[in-house]
């Protein structure tokens, strides 16, 4: 029986542990806190699932596959983890990122529809789209209950036979690139070690040495107390690529999410203060005021501080740094939705069935913003 140590029980590590445990691996999953803890990127109340990724079809396909995987996970766990509320992209130009996305989705037979900005009134209680060129509607996109999904995935991994160890794992002193981890001075060995440590990865391995720097940024998430008409699934999720703004209707009574995807300031995930900046609140209100005017004065109901672990080109890291030692990280703020499908892909890599795509390697990467939003704010 092949053995693996997965370090980190965020959604990436937990999903991988589950996949490997149910396909015959002996799995040890090491987590310094507990699955779903407040510092995790995966512990956000909600995360969006969408297939649009501009001109890139690899992530579009993976997201579409992941949607089925999330449904299966719901059936297994008996929990509702995914609200298929649909998603509207607000396209400022006729031939930009959203247009490229629409072309890819159509080629892949992933349902989508190009709509007139005036159609926004059909989806939202109030909508101003006079600055827009068109809307791109993804009916099968939606909102994942992220923190809960992370806890459920970790629990299923344990039920499938993974051993969950609560400890801080470190590379073995003097020999960081061994297929082993050090826990409280004791060394654990396995055929493979996967460091799925999210924003903690740069403190463990200097990926910049290989040409791929990892930057950790503070991201403020805001939910506003909107009237009942703004409840998901009646109200879809939405993304304004040009303005780097996104959100969704109220899920579970925690308010309507309206927040920025623009990169925040450098951040330390373990000890960084988790209070949102007033500037983030002002920015979100300014956006709401333009798009959904009456919500500009809605009370702030719920906030979270999270972190992105960004590569320069927003492509992930799936890289073997020494025989049997893998880094899985650099999610770049868009990895939650893909997790179950990504786990199957990485399991294939670990099992030697296929090599990872070259794009995920540790090499010099050119700055590029094609996979999330423009980074511009207005
Ligand atoms: C504000 C925000 C909004 C986002 N929105 C979306 C979205 O809408 N859609 C989407 O798909 N994605 C989104 N993302 C990205 C998504 O949340 C991440 O891609 C995903 O959660 C990354 O999971 P992870 O498992 O890699 O990291 P994490 O969830 O951070 O987990 C890493 C884990 O490793 C553990 N760990 C680290 N070091 C050690 C160690 N030495 N020993 C033991 N344990 C260790 C940590 O404690 C942690 O639990 C968003 C992210 C943020 C911050």
pLDDT, tens digit, for every residue of 85-101? 999 999 999 999 999 99
Which tens digit of pLDDT belongs to each residue from 182-194? 999 899 999 999 9
Under 8 Å between Cβ of 221 and 261: no
- Average pLDDT for 291-305: 96
H-helix or E-strand spanning residue 137? strand 134-138
Mutate to test the pocket of ligand 1, among 176, 264, 272, 331 (most ligand atoms within 8 A of CB): 331
Asked, for residue 366, whether it belongs to a domain, the answer is no
Average pLDDT of span 110-134: 97
What would the pLDDT profile of 114-124 be if each residue is shown by its tens digit? 999 999 999 99
376 assigned to some structural domain:
no
φ, ψ for residue 8, nearest 5 deg: 110, 120
Q: Coil, helix or strand for 122?
A: helix
**Which residue's CA is the closest to the ligand 1 atom numbered 13?**
334
Residue 283 buriedness (CB in 10 A; 0-12 / 13-18 / 19+): buried
Q: Let me know if residue 246 belongs to a domain.
A: yes
List 329's β-bridge partners, or say none.
Answer: 317
In a domain, 222, yes or no: yes
Residue 260 belongs to some domain of the structure: yes
What's residue 369's pLDDT?
79
How close is the Cα of 228 to the center of ligand 1, in Å?
Answer: 31
| Average pLDDT of the residues in 279-308 | 97
Residue 374 covered by a domain: no
Any atom of ligand 1 within 6 Å of the Cβ of 247: no
- Write down the residue that tokens 């798009």 correspond to: 291
> Helices in 78-195 by DSSP H: which ranges?
97-107, 120-123, 146-159
Q: How far apart are the first and last CA of the chain?
A: 55
CA 188 – CA 20 distance, rounded (Å):
18
Closest C-alpha among 136, 240, 188 to residue 6: 188
Report the CATH number at residue 87. Answer: 3.30.9.10
- The residue written with tokens 């200097």 in the block is 206
Substitution candidate for ligand 1 out of 40, 268, 305, 332 with most atoms within 8 A of CB: 40
Question: Number of folded domains in the chain?
Answer: 1
Average of per-residue pLDDT across 155-181: 94
Residue 154 main-chain phi, psi, to 5 deg: -65, -40
Residue 372 lies in a domain: no
Q: Give 142's strand partners.
A: 49
Nearest to 11 by CA among 356, 336, 344, 369: 336
Is the pLDDT at 378 greater than 80? The verdict is no
How far is the centre of ligand 1, averaged over its atoms, from the C-alpha of 5 (Å)?
18
pLDDT at 370: 81
User: Residue 118 is encoded by which pair of tokens?
Assistant: 């005036």
Phi, psi of 32 (to 5 degrees): -75, -25
Q: How far is the CA of 161 from the centre of ligand 1 (A)?
A: 23
Structural domain span for residue 11:
3-360
Coil, helix or strand at residue 330: coil
Q: What is the pLDDT of residues 303-327, one digit of tens each?
A: 999 999 999 999 999 999 999 999 9
Assigned domain for 204 exists: yes
């Amino acid at each position: 029986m092949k053995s693996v140590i997965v370090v980190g029980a965020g959604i990436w590590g937990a999903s991988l542990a589950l996949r490997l445990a149910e396909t015959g691996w002996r799995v040890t999953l090491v987590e310094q806190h507990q699955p779903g803890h407040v510092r995790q990127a995966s512990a956000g109340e909600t995360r969006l699932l969408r297939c649009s990724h501009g001109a890139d079809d690899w992530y579009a396909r993976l997201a579409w596959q992941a949607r089925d995987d999330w449904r299966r996970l719901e059936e297994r766990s008996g929990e509702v983890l995914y609200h298929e509320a649909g998603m509207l992209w607000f396209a400022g130009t006729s031939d930009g990122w959203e247009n490229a996305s629409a072309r890819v989705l159509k080629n892949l037979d992933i349902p989508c529809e190009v709509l007139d900005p005036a159609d926004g009134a059909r989806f939202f209680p109030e909508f101003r789209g006079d600055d827009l060129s068109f809307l791109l509607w993804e009916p099968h996109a939606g909102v994942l209950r992220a923190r809960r999904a992370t806890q459920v995935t970790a629990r299923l991994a344990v039920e499938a036979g993974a051993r969950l160890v609560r400890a801080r794992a470190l590379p073995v002193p003097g020999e960081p690139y061994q297929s082993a981890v050090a826990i409280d001075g004791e060394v654990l060995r396995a055929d493979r070690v996967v460091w799925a440590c999210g924003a903690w990865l740069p403190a463990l391995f200097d990926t910049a040495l290989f040409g791929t720097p990892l930057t950790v940024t503070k991201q403020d998430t805001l939910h506003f107390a909107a009237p009942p008409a703004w409840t998901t699934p009646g109200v879809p999720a939405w993304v304004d690529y040009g303005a780097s703004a996104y959100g969704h209707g109220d899920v579970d009574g925690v308010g309507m999410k309206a927040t920025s995807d623009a990169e925040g300031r450098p951040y330390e995930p373990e000890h960084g203060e988790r209070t949102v900046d007033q500037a983030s609140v002002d920015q979100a209100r300014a956006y709401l005021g333009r798009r959904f005017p009456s919500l500009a004065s809605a009370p702030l109901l719920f906030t979270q501080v999270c972190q992105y672990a960004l590569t320069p080109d927003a492509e992930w890291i799936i890289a073997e740094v020494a025989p049997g030692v893998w880094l899985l990280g650099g999610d770049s703020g868009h990895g939650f939705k893909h997790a179950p499908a990504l786990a199957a892909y990485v399991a294939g890599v670990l099992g030697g069935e296929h090599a990872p795509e070259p794009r995920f390697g540790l090499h010099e990467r050119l700055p590029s913003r094609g996979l999330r939003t423009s980074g511009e704010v207005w």
